[in-house]
Chains A and B, each alone.
Chain A
Amino acid sequence: MSSTAAASAPGGGISSDFLPVLAEVSQQLAVSVDLEQTLRESVAFITEHMRAEAAAVFMLSADGSTLQCRACVGPVDIHGLEIPAGAGIVGRTVARRACQLVRDARNDPDFSARVDASTGFVTRSVLCTPLTTAQGVIGAIEIINKRDGGLFDDADRNTLRLLAAPTALALNIARMAGELVEKNRIQRELSMARRLQRSLLPRRRRGAYPVRALNLPAQEISGDFYDFFDLPDGRIAFTLGDVAGKGLDAAFLMVRCASLLRWAGKEGLPPGNWLARANDELREAIPPGMFVCAVAGYYDPARREATWASAGFPPLLRIATDGAVQRLPAEGPPLGILAGMHFPEQRCDLVDAALYLFSDGVTDVRDSSGHTLDIDGVEALLTEHAELPLEARLRHLFRELRTLRVTDDITVLGIEGRPAGEQCVFAHDFPAQPGELATMRHGLGEALSAAGVGTELRQALVLAIDEAASNVIRHAYGGPCERPIRLEVWQDGPALRFDLIDRAPSADPDRLRPRDLDECRPGGLGVNIIDATMDAWQLLPEPGGGNRLRMHKQLRPVVI
Chain B
Amino acid sequence: MKTCNTDVDGEYRVVRLAGEVDMSWSQQVRAAVLDALKRSDKVAVHLAAVSYIDSSGIAALVEGFQQARGRGQVFVLLEASDAVKAVLRLARLDRVFTLREQLA
Q: Across the interface, name the chain A residue whose C-beta is closest to B83.
A: A459
Complex Cα spacing A113 to B93, Å: 91
Q: Which of A473, A521, A522 contacts B23 (CB 8 A)?
A: A473
Q: Closest CB-CB distance, A449 to chain B, in whole Å? A: 15
Identify which of residues 143-183 in chain A touch chain B, using a CB-to-CB cut-off of 8 Å: none
The answer to the question of A499 belonging to the interface, with a C-beta cut-off of 8 Å to chain B, is no
Complex Cα spacing A521 to B60, Å: 10
Report the number of A-B residue pairs with Cβ-Cβ less than 8 Å. Answer: 69
Given A467-B54, A517-B92, does the pair A434, B22 have CB atoms closer than 8 Å? yes
Complex Cα spacing A465 to B39, Å: 37
A520 neighbours in B (Cβ, 8 Å): 62, 66, 93, 96
A462 neighbours in B (Cβ, 8 Å): 52
In contact, A517 and B91 (Cβ under 8 angstroms) = yes
Counting contact residues on chain B (CB < 8 A from A), the size range is: 20 to 34
Q: Which of A456, A463, A473, A523 contacts B59 (CB 8 A)?
A: A523
Q: Across the interface, name the chain B residue whose C-beta is closest to A437.
A: B22
Sampled A-B contacts (8; CB under 8 Å): A437-B22, A437-B23, A460-B90, A462-B52, A463-B54, A473-B23, A522-B63, A523-B59
The answer to the question of A123 belonging to the interface, with a C-beta cut-off of 8 Å to chain B, is no
The answer to the question of A435 belonging to the interface, with a C-beta cut-off of 8 Å to chain B, is yes
The answer to the question of B99 belonging to the interface, with a C-beta cut-off of 8 Å to chain A, is no
In contact, A470 and B90 (Cβ under 8 angstroms) = no
The answer to the question of A388 belonging to the interface, with a C-beta cut-off of 8 Å to chain B, is no
Count residues on chain A whose CB falls below 8 Å from chain B CBs.
Answer: 29
Q: Across the interface, name the chain A residue whose C-beta is closest to B55.
A: A525
Q: Across the interface, name the chain B residue whose C-beta is closest to A459.
A: B86
B22 neighbours in A (Cβ, 8 Å): 434, 437-438, 441, 466, 470
Identify which of residues 1-56 in chain B touch chain A, using a CB-to-CB cut-off of 8 Å: 20, 22-25, 52, 54-56
Q: Which of B20, B59, B63 contacts A438 (CB 8 A)?
A: B20
Q: Which of A434, A460, A518, A523 contacts B86 (CB 8 A)?
A: A460
Q: Closest CB-CB distance, A33 to chain B, in whole Å? A: 54
In contact, A434 and B23 (Cβ under 8 angstroms) = yes
B62 neighbours in A (Cβ, 8 Å): 520-522
Q: Closest CB-CB distance, A560 to chain B, in whole Å? A: 26
A522 neighbours in B (Cβ, 8 Å): 58-60, 62-63, 66
Complex Cα spacing A456 to B86, Å: 9
In contact, A525 and B59 (Cβ under 8 angstroms) = yes
